[in-house]
Amino acid sequence: MALKSTPVVFGLMTRLSRRSFSTSKALASKPMTVRDALNQALDEEMARDERVFLLGEEVAQYDGAYKVSRGLWKKYGDKRVIDTPITEAGFAGIAVGAAFAGLRPICEFMTFNFSMQAIDHVINSAAKTFYMSAGTVPVPIVFRGPNGAASGVAAQHSQCFGAWYSHCPGLKVLMPYSSEDAKGLLKAAIRDPDPVVVLEDEIMYGVQFPMSDEALSNDFVIPIGKAKIERPGQHITLVCAGKATDTALQAANELAGNGIECEVINLRSLRPLDFETIAQSVAKTHHLVTVEQGWPQSGIGAEICARVMESPAFFELDAPAWRVTGADVPMPYARGLEALALPRPADVAAAARAVLGNRISQAAQQ
């Protein structure tokens, strides 16, 4: 049974703004919010390639529901930044058709919960057409928007779709954490010849992270399918993505005070999954905990644990792997219950201690 409880919402902005994670060896040079990093990526790629255009609800004149597309309509005009009616099935279908015709659409869902209205186009049209056409019809499209739990928006607006979309062959699925992740992964997604799902996080949009000089350049791209070790360690491996990376890093900071050094792996990409980095870390630490906000059954952590079981990495483990997930219930609306439905740093720390102490059965009963 997975540990389940809540993230720390209050104070998140302050804690994260003090962190400095860079994908390059250069010193972080400029703080930037995740929102602005996404905006910069969109602007640079639209300037680079006239085939790139953005469509979705309120993306143009309103500058986007979360202001990710701020200023783009004024700069690129009605033909390349397109407000759509509230009909996900309609504009997602238009976007897929445009990709068939050789354009490079970026289809924004106001929340990925609404992508359920368009999932036929995402899966049956975008993900399968290249295969069904024997490689003659590429589908260079990006589906992007906020994913997972926000705050006080209840069950129909709080779901994580990482496991849903990463289940499907034909899609690439990305989940950025920091500003560098957001910019580099979105640019890579826009340039990719295949359909890419970019799962952002509403709560992270306003969080500032330092950006290296390399990340500020127009040529900065993060390779799809390559994880990042956010924090090296030797005692236990914590694997996570998106906002769960912050939860894992907070837990790692707490555990470090007790002499436990965690290796925190930010997956960045859910499909393709960088299992090699996970396996190498497990071979070093011999212990594994996965962290995610989604539900436990058939989740990302379950997939990682299965791959470990099916590979030589299994023989490196000194104790069973452990999953820290969201609660196996629809997201409650009440604040107190919502707080109990998502993983907290304390849950990750408790899981790590249980794995290191080989006390899985006792901890599962708590």
Q: Which of 121, 157, 235, 287 is catalytic?
A: 157
Instruction: Tell the burial category of 213 from Cβ atoms under 10 Å away from its Cβ (0-12, 13-18, 19+).
Output: middle
Q: Would you say 155 and 116 are in contact if contact means Cβ atoms under 8 Å apart? A: no
Kindly state the tokens that stand for 3.
């540990």
Instruction: Point out the catalytic residue in the list 57, 88, 263, 338.
Output: 88
With tokens 């069904």, the residue in question is 132
DSSP classification of residue 3: B
Calpha distance 117→346 (Å, rounded): 36
Phi, psi of 357 (to 5 degrees): -90, 0
Among residues 86, 157, 88, which one has the least CA distance to residue 117?
A: 88
Q: Which of 145, 179, 177 is nearest to 161 (CA)?
A: 145
Burial string for 228-250 (b: 16+ CB within 10 Å, else e) reads bebbebebbbbbbbbbbbbbbbb
Token duo for residue 264: 């925190």
**Residue 320 three-state SS:** coil
The verdict on whether 157 is a catalytic residue reads yes
d(CA 152, CA 158): 9
Instruction: Please name which of 275, 335, 350, 331 lies closest in space to residue 306, comparing C-alpha atoms.
Output: 275
Q: Is the dihedral of CA 355, 358, 364, 365 positive or negative?
A: negative
Residue 40, token pair as written in the block: 């910069």
Contact 4, 329 (CB under 8 A): no
Q: Output the six-digit token pair for 29.
A: 């040079």
Q: Among all residues, which ones are annotated catalytic? A: 88, 157
